[in-house]
Structure 1
Amino acid sequence: MQSIDPVGGLKHQLDTLSETSRKGFIRLTTSCQVDCLLGWLSGQTVFPRFYWQARDSRGGDYAALGAVKAFDSLTALHTDIAALSGYGGEQPDYVGGMAFDASAPGWQHFGGCHFFLPRIELRRHQEEVLFTLNLRFDDRCPDTEIAQARACLNALLEEQSLPYLSPHSYQREDSPSKSSWAAWVAKVTHPDHLCHTPKVVLSRETRLTTPETPSPWALLSRWQAGAVDCFHFGIQLTSQEAFIGCPPEQLYRREGQHLMTEALAGTTRRVHDALQDERLAAELLADTKNTLENQCVYQHILTQLEPLAHHAHLGEAHIVKLRSVQHIRRLIHAELQDGVTDQQLLETLPPTPAVGGVPRAAAMDFIRQHERHQRGWYAGVVGRISQASSDLAVAIRCAHITPGVMCLYAGAGIVAGSRPDEEWHELDAKIADIMSLLGMG
Structure 2
Amino acid sequence: MQTKSPVEVLQHRLDSLPETGTNGFVRLSTPCQVENLLGWLNIQSMYPRLYWQSRDAGAVEYAALGVVNAFDSLAALEADLAALAAVGGEQPDFFGGMAFDPSTPGWEHFPACHFLLPRIELTCHQGGATLSLNLCFDDRCPKDEIAQAHACLDALVAEQPLPRLKPHVYQREDRPSQQEWAAWVWQVTNPDHLAHTPKVVLSRETCLTTPKTSNPWALLSRWQSGAADCFHFGVQFSPHEAFIGCPPERLYKREGRHLITEALAGTTRRGRDAQQDQVLATELLADKKNTLENQCVYQQILTQLEPLSSQVQMGEAHIMKLRSLQHIRRLIHAELHSDVSDQQLLSVLPPTPAVGGVPRESALAFTRQHERHQRGWYSGVFGRISHASSDLAVTIRCAHIDSETIRLYAGAGIVAGSQPDEEWRELDTKIADIMSLLGMG
The normalised TM-score by structure 1 is 0.98
Structure 1 position 358, deviation (Å): 0.2
Matched residue of 2:326: which SS?
strand
Computed over aligned residues only, the root mean square deviation of the Cα atoms, in angstroms, reads 0.9
Whether contact under 8 Å (2:198, 2:358) holds in the other structure is yes
Alignment of 1:14-93 (within 5 A): 14-19=14-19, 22-93=22-93
Alignment of 1:145-156 (within 5 A): 145-156=145-156
Whether contact under 8 Å (2:253, 2:392) holds in the other structure is yes
Structure 1 position 211, deviation (Å): 1.3
5+ residue gaps, structure 2, are none
One-letter amino acid matched to 2:248: P
- Tell me the distance in 2 between the aligned counterparts of 1:60 and 1:95: 14
Select between 254-263 and 270-279 the one with higher mean Cα deviation.
Answer: 270-279
Q: Report Cα offsets for 1:119-165 as digits up to 9, x if no partner.
A: 00111112510100001101211001000100111111111110110
User: Hey, what does 1:315 align to over in structure 2?
Assistant: 315
Taking only the aligned residue pairs, the percentage that are identical comes to: 71
One-letter amino acid matched to 2:340: V
User: Hey, what does 1:195 align to over in structure 2?
Assistant: 195
User: Hey, what does 1:253 align to over in structure 2?
Assistant: 253
Structure 1 position 21, deviation (Å): 5.8
- Tell me the distance in 1 between the aligned counterparts of 2:127 and 2:342: 32
**Aligned residue pair count:** 439
- Tell me the distance in 2 between the aligned counterparts of 1:144 and 1:176: 50
- Tell me the distance in 2 between the aligned counterparts of 1:246 and 1:154: 32
- Tell me the distance in 1 between the aligned counterparts of 2:346 and 2:261: 12
- Tell me the distance in 2 between the aligned counterparts of 1:21 and 1:252: 38
- Tell me the distance in 2 between the aligned counterparts of 1:432 and 1:146: 47
Q: CA 1:268–1:353 in structure 2 vs 1: closer, same or farther (change >3 Å)? A: same
User: Hey, what does 1:110 align to over in structure 2?
Assistant: 110
- Tell me the distance in 1 between the aligned counterparts of 2:370 and 2:421: 19
Whether contact under 8 Å (2:60, 2:125) holds in the other structure is yes
- Tell me the distance in 1 between the aligned counterparts of 2:212 and 2:320: 35
User: Hey, what does 1:168 align to over in structure 2?
Assistant: 168
Whether contact under 8 Å (2:235, 2:243) holds in the other structure is yes
User: Hey, what does 1:285 align to over in structure 2?
Assistant: 285
User: Hey, what does 1:352 align to over in structure 2?
Assistant: 352
Q: CA 1:57–1:163 in structure 2 vs 1: closer, same or farther (change >3 Å)? A: farther
Whether contact under 8 Å (1:4, 1:32) holds in the other structure is no
Q: Report Cα offsets for 1:222-254 as digits up to 9, x if no partner.
A: 000000210000011111210000000000000
One-letter amino acid matched to 1:302: L
Whether contact under 8 Å (2:20, 2:142) holds in the other structure is no
Whether contact under 8 Å (2:19, 2:143) holds in the other structure is no
Matched residue of 1:108: which SS?
coil
User: Hey, what does 2:224 align to over in structure 1?
Assistant: 224
User: Hey, what does 1:380 align to over in structure 2?
Assistant: 380
User: Hey, what does 2:424 align to over in structure 1?
Assistant: 424
Matched residue of 2:304: which SS?
helix
- Tell me the distance in 1 between the aligned counterparts of 2:228 and 2:171: 29
Q: Report Cα offsets for 1:245-278 as digits up to 9, x if no partner.
A: 0000000000000000000000001122211111
The normalised TM-score by structure 2 is 0.98
One-letter amino acid matched to 2:391: D
5+ residue gaps, structure 1, are none
Whether contact under 8 Å (2:355, 2:411) holds in the other structure is yes
User: Hey, what does 2:212 align to over in structure 1?
Assistant: 212
User: Hey, what does 2:396 align to over in structure 1?
Assistant: 396
One-letter amino acid matched to 2:240: Q
Structure 1 position 82, deviation (Å): 1.0
Select between 251-260 and 270-279 the one with higher mean Cα deviation.
Answer: 270-279
- Tell me the distance in 2 between the aligned counterparts of 1:177 and 1:140: 52
Runs of 4+ deviating beyond 2 Å: 18-21
